[in-house]
Amino acid sequence: MAVPLAFFGVFFAYPVTAIVGRGLKTDAGWQLGRIGEVLAEPGIAGVLWFTVWQALASTVLTLLVALPAAYVFARLDFPGKQVLRAVVTIPFVLPTVVVGTAFLALVGRGGLTEELWGVRLDTTVWAILLAHVFFNYAVVVRTVGGLWAQLDPRQEEAARVLGAGRLAAWRQVTLPALAPAVAAAAVMVFLFTFTSFGVVQILGGPAYATLEVEVYRQTAQLLDLSTAAVLTLVQFAAVAGILAVHAWTVRRRERALRLVDPALTAHRPRGAGQRLLLGGVLLTVALLIVLPLGVLVERSFDTPGGHGTGYYEALAQAGSGGGTFLVPPLEAVGNSLEYALAATGIALLVGGLAAAALTRRAGPFVRGFDALLMLPLGVSAVTVGFGFLITLDEPPLDLRTSWILVPLAQALVGVPFVVRTMLPVLRAVDERLREAAAVLGASPLRAWREVDLPLVRRALLVAAGFAFAVSLGEFGATVFIARADRPTLPVAVARLLGRAGDLNYGQAMALSTVLMLVCAAALLVLERLRPDKTSGEF
């Protein structure tokens, strides 16, 4: 517990407190009056209202669209299922700077919706909502679908044998078992959309702003730290509230469920209804996810002289003369992989220890700690980044110009995923095994190695995969701290998009495609390593 606590204390709580303190504390003491002042500003109420309702709407819409898919992925067998499950997860780990561009091609000017129905959704709230569905689809499919696949269908069958109708059996048996997972997924989606930044900036146009966008604007552009601090606190309070709900749903879910091997519950689609459902889900995935990603790939090959690999060749050559990158863009792939590996190492260490600590102990303090580990997902990257700047500035912690800062920041986002994935599995380990090992004279470390490790090895790999993928796509914090000579993939893409010219734009698309492939490869490996019986929430 000491290591995760120290990690979060120094790399999260301390920087964030310091930057909020800088905004609210003057020589005359704390300026708590600013809270009332800022909240009373006319624009702020609008921002708050928009933040809340778009998150609610996004969450409902995501559930509506993704729940049928959760069922299909859980209970139906069809060719290409594994690949498709990896594909729907790609948006979740791609940087918004890339996806926003692709998504515009679907609902923006000249996009599919305009061609078919003359409807253009860019700069409307619909574009934001649809993009949120696009990004969070996988959260529902994986969280709900993961559990659904492990629910024993025989329980529902038993209810029917006892005379319950089909609907009644589902409502009384499956739904209650599923409800906590649905609630947890909803909370996650709400959290991600509540703190939405890139999607709202790129697709919403300047008329829409969430709290997160406003914090960024006040901090990075206006340097109005006191307003930013108040908004950070408001967001903090909201996120803490969401996490409290989350902790509650998690606890409720921890009642015993009879879980079975997912391979036994899935079957080939039977009957017209199931085939129709499968078709509908496949069509949704094709339109909503594959199509925007496809546009990205298509543009990366769309050179002036017809379709070809020109941009990819340019990527391999560019930078030999120095300039924007100081390294060839393809070296950014190497940088990204190295950073992501380091971040994964840190996230596994910190998250693994935290999960282990959470398994052994119980009580309100531990539950609070559980929620605390999720907080970095809800705090603005600019707050953390600026906090790093003003706190990690003295030896032995003058890390501001060190390469380690990037993986540290990425690990902050990775740890919650590690904890969420490992915790259910670790909790399922029979305590008596550990006790037996202890009785036989094993040290705690040895007991962990001999008992826990073999059981959680696969969950550990899944967690590693997620931490890795999330680190790979992390942009917000990285952009502030990446060293010029070692840009990551998303940073390199953003730099290319920041310049005029065909080659720059084409290379940005090509590099995005490379990022997508790296993500997809990581996720496919992950699919192969999926534990048979119990898997985490993701």
Partner 1 sequence: MSTTTRRLAATALATALGTAALSACGGGSGDGSAAEDSGKPAQKTVTLVSHDSFAVTDAVIKEFEQQSGYTVQVLKSGDAGTALNQEILTKGSPRGDVFFGVDNTLLSRALDNGIFTAYEAKGLDTVKPEFVLDAQHRVTPVDSGDICVNYDKAYFADKGIAPPQTLDDLAKPEYKDLLVVENAATSSPGLGFLLATVGKYGEEGWKDYWAKLKANGVEVVDGWEQAYNERFSGSAGGRKAKGDRPLVVSYASSPPVEVLYAEPQPAEAPTGVATGTCFRQTEFAGLLKGAKNEAGGKALIDFMIGKKFQEDMPLKMFVNPVVKDAQLPELFTKHGAVVEKPETVAPDTIAKNREQWVKTWTSLVVK
Residue number with CB closer to partner 1 (75 or 486): 486
In the window 350-379, what residues touch partner 1 (CB under 8 A)?
350
Q: Is 401 in the site for partner 1 (CB under 8 A)?
A: yes
Could you tell me how far CA 35 lies from the centroid of its own chain? 30
Which of these ranges, 26-34, 77-85, 237-245, 494-502, lies near partner 1 under the rule CB under 8 A? 494-502
Structure tokens, 492: 């390199």
Quick check: 220 binds partner 1 (CB under 8 A)? yes
Among 50, 137, 339, 538, binds partner 1 (CB under 8 A): 339
- Strand, coil or helix: 261: coil
Candidate ranges 52-60, 267-275, 366-374, 482-490; the one touching partner 1 (CB under 8 A): 482-490
Residue 342 in the binding site for partner 1 (CB under 8 A): yes
Any alpha helices (H) in 33-174, and if so which ranges?
33-40, 42-75, 81-93, 96-107, 112-117, 125-148, 153-161, 166-169
| 205 versus 279: smaller Cβ distance to partner 1 | 205
28 three-state secondary structure:
coil
- Distance (Å, whole) CA 284 – CA 348: 34
Rounded least distance, CB 536 to partner 1, Å: 21
Binding to partner 1 (CB under 8 A) within 188-207 occurs at 201-202, 204-207
Stretch that binds partner 1, among 68-76, 264-272, 423-431, 503-511 (CB under 8 A): 503-511
What is the closest distance, in whole angstroms, from the C-beta atom of residue 509 to partner 1 in the complex?
8
Q: Give me 464's structure tokens.
A: 């590693």
Q: Is 1 in the site for partner 1 (CB under 8 A)?
A: no
Question: In a 3-state reduction of DSSP, which class is residue 339?
Answer: helix
**142 vs 495, beta carbon nearer partner 1:** 495
Interaction of residue 299 with partner 1, rule CB under 8 A: yes
Which of the residues 69 through 108 are near partner 1 (CB under 8 A)?
A: 101, 104-105, 108
Q: Which stretch binds partner 1 (CB under 8 A): 154-162, 176-184, 367-375, 404-412?
A: 404-412
Distance separating alpha carbons of residues 37 and 32, to the nearest angstrom: 9
| Smallest separation (angstroms) from partner 1 to the CB of 350 | 7
Number of residues near partner 1 (by CB under 8 A): 87
With contact defined as beta carbons under 8 Å apart, do 92 and 136 qualify?
yes
d(CA 412, CA 354) in angstroms, rounded, equals: 13
- CA-to-CA dists, residue 286 to 92, 142, 279, 291, 510, angstroms: 16, 18, 10, 6, 21
Binding track, positions 407-436, relative to partner 1; x by CB under 8 A:
xx--x-------------------------
Residue number, 244 or 297, with CB nearest to partner 1: 297
Between CA 326 and CA 485 the distance in angstroms is 6
| Lookup: tokens for 127 | 């574009």
Q: Provide the 8-state DSSP code for 376.
A: G
Alpha-carbon span 405 to 388, nearest angstrom: 9
> Of 253-292, which residues contact partner 1 (CB under 8 A)?
none
Examine residue 510 and tell whether it contacts partner 1 (CB under 8 A): no
Geometric angle at alpha carbon 423, from 418 and 428, rounded to 5°: 145
